Amino acid sequence: MSLSIHSLDLREAQATLAGEIRCRGATSALHTAIVADHIRTLVWAPYLRSEGADRQPVHTSRIFAALDRNLRFLAPGGIDAVCAAAHSTYEFVRDQIELCGDIVHLGNGYWIPGPLRLVRPSTTEMGLVVGGIPTGTLEKVFKRPIHSIGPARYAVGIEGVNAALAADSVAGWLGISESLADWTKQTLAWAATQLLPQADIEDDNLEIYAPDIFRLRRRPGFWLGAKEFQESAATLRLFRPRTAARWSFDRPDYLGVFRPRIAGAHLTQAVQIPRDLGYRLRFGFDQMYAMPRTIHLHRVGDAHRFELKFDLPAPEARVLGLSWRDAADGIDRYIDDFGIPILEDVAALLGIRVVPG
C-alpha cells in the first residue's frame, strides 16, 4: 500500500478548509470560523471522557496554548507573528461565541460548553445552531450540513429536526418574555414608586434624554441640558450628569421629574438606576417617541458590513456574536446572509430599522 502526499500552499489549504466547514466568503470569516471551532472543541474535550471521569472546565491559558500550536498556518510570518497578533483574535472570537451561547464563563478564566439550542428567525427555514458541541458531532445530531461562517453556525432546512431540539424564537434565545414597550412601561411604573424628593433647584450640571425635543426643534441630538429643557407637563425622564470637554467619568443614570420654569427645568424627584437598565431605556423612550434608530448594511459578497453608531443594550447585544471583524480594514462588524434574518428580528424587538445597502 502506498500513501500519496500532495503539498498545498496557504491559499489551497484555506480553500480545502472552507469546503470542509462550509464557510463561504472572505478569508477573515474563514479564520474566525476555524478559531471558533477549535475553541468549541477544546472546551468540549473533557466531555469525551468516560462517564465516571472527572470533567473539569478548561482554562483560557490551555485554550490559547493549543491554538498557538494548531493554527500557526493562519499567520505565515511564523510563531512570533502568531503570538504577537493572534491572541487578540482568539480573545475576540472567544467573546463572540460566548455571546452566542456556545461556551459559558465560570469565572477566573474557566470555560464549559453551552447547552445545545436551535434558534429560528421569523422569516426563514434557516436555523442558528448554538451550543458547545463540535461541528462534526452537530452534523450527526441534525443529520444535515452545518455551515460554520465567522463565529456562528447555521443549519439550512430545519423542518423535521428531532423534536427534542425544537427551535427557539429569537426572543426566546435572548431570554425576552415581553415587548420593549411593556418592559418600558413596567420599568417606569416601578421607578415612579422609588422617586425621592430633590432640592427643586436649577442644576446646570444635568442633561436630559430628549430626542423628541430635538426633533421638534429640527436639530439632531439626544441629550439636552436642563437649562434648555422645557415641556408643558412634568414627565418621568432619563437624565445624567454633564461632563466638561476636558474630562469624563463613569456617569450614573437616573430617572426623574423636572418642573418647567422660565429659567430652565428644575429637578423635583429622582432615583438612580443601574447603567444597563438606563441604556436599554433609551431604546424604550425612542420607541415611545416614534424615533427609530437605523442600522445600515453594505453588501460584501455573501456577507454584509455594518458599522454601529451606537451599542445595542443587553440582552439584544447577543446578536453581535454572529459578526466577525477584518483586521485589514479595521471593521469588526461583518455578518453572513444567514445571520441577517436574526439581526432583523432583534432590531424589530428594539424598534430599529435595518436598511440594506
Q: What is the pLDDT of residues 200-229, one digit of tens each?
A: 555 778 999 999 999 988 898 999 998 888
More confident residue, 233 or 108: 108
Give me the domain span that covers residue 244: 180-273
Residue 280 lies in a domain: no
Mention every residue, 6+ apart, whose C-beta is less than 8 A from residue 47. 55, 113
356 vs 21: CA distance, rounded Å: 27
Q: In the prediction, which pLDDT does 29 show?
A: 93
Q: In the prediction, which pLDDT does 202 show?
A: 58
Write down which residue in 174, 204, 219 finishes a domain.
174
Q: In the prediction, which pLDDT does 79 show?
A: 47
Average pLDDT of 179-201? 90
Phi and psi torsions of 226, nearest 5°: -60, -30
Alpha helices in 45-132 (DSSP H): 60-70, 79-100
More confident residue, 119 or 166: 119
Q: How many CB atoms lie within 10 A of CB 117?
A: 19
Looking at the fold, whether 73 and 90 belong to one and the same domain comes out as: yes
Residue 315 lies in a domain: yes
Looking at the fold, whether 138 and 43 belong to one and the same domain comes out as: no
Looking at the fold, whether 22 and 106 belong to one and the same domain comes out as: yes
- CA-nearest of 326, 316, 308 to 350 is 316
Average pLDDT of 27-52? 88
Residues 339, 47, 174, 294: is their CA dihedral positive or negative? negative
Secondary structure element (H or E) that encloses residue 345, with its range? helix 340-350
128 vs 19: CA distance, rounded Å: 19
- CA-nearest of 268, 309, 231 to 254 is 268
More confident residue, 19 or 53: 19
Q: What is the pLDDT of residues 52-89, one digit of tens each?
A: 667 789 999 999 999 988 887 666 554 455 455 678 88
Q: In the prediction, which pLDDT does 234 show?
A: 81
Residue 107 lies in a domain: yes
Looking at the fold, whether 132 and 96 belong to one and the same domain comes out as: no
Looking at the fold, whether 142 and 155 belong to one and the same domain comes out as: yes
DSSP letter, residue 202: B
Q: What is the CATH number of the domain that holds 56?
A: 1.10.10.10
Looking at the fold, whether 15 and 103 belong to one and the same domain comes out as: yes
Model confidence at 8, pLDDT cuts 50, 70, 90, reads confident
Per residue, the 3-state secondary structure of 214-274, as one string, reads HHHCCCCCCEEEHHHCCCCCCCEEEEEECCCCCCCCCCCEEEEEEECCCCCCEEEEEEEEC
* Edge-to-edge strand ranges of the sheet holding 103-107: 58-59, 110-113, 103-107
Residue 311 lies in a domain: yes
Q: Is the model's pTM score more than 0.75?
A: yes
Looking at the fold, whether 135 and 148 belong to one and the same domain comes out as: yes
Looking at the fold, whether 64 and 18 belong to one and the same domain comes out as: yes
319 with 97: CB under 8 angstroms? Answer: no
Residue 289 lies in a domain: no
Residue 322 lies in a domain: yes
Residue 245 carries which side chain, given as an amino acid letter? A
C-alpha cell at 220: 439632531
C-alpha cell at 8: 498545498
Residue 291 carries which side chain, given as an amino acid letter? M
Residue 349 lies in a domain: yes
- CA-nearest of 348, 357, 351 to 122 is 348
- CA-nearest of 208, 210, 181, 174 to 313 is 174
Give the chain's domain count.
Answer: 4
Looking at the fold, whether 299 and 262 belong to one and the same domain comes out as: no
Write down which residue in 94, 113, 132 finishes a domain.
113
73 with 13: CB under 8 angstroms? Answer: yes
Looking at the fold, whether 105 and 147 belong to one and the same domain comes out as: no
Write down which residue in 150, 174, 198 finishes a domain.
174
Looking at the fold, whether 269 and 324 belong to one and the same domain comes out as: no
Number of H helices, E strands in the chain: 10, 19
More confident residue, 287 or 331: 287
Percent of residues, the chain, with pLDDT higher than 70: 88
Q: What is the CATH number of the domain that holds 341?
A: 3.40.1170
Average pLDDT of 182-193? 96
Q: In the prediction, which pLDDT does 246 show?
A: 67
Q: Give residue for cell 500532495.
A: 6
Q: In the prediction, which pLDDT does 2 show?
A: 76
- CA-nearest of 103, 99, 120 to 323 is 99
> Torsion angle of alpha carbons 312, 314, 316, 319, nearest 10°?
80
- CA-nearest of 239, 250, 314, 237 to 277 is 314
**170, pLDDT greater than 80:** yes
Residue 342 carries which side chain, given as an amino acid letter? I
Residue 257 lies in a domain: yes
Residue 191 carries which side chain, given as an amino acid letter? A
Looking at the fold, whether 108 and 121 belong to one and the same domain comes out as: no
**238, pLDDT greater than 70:** yes
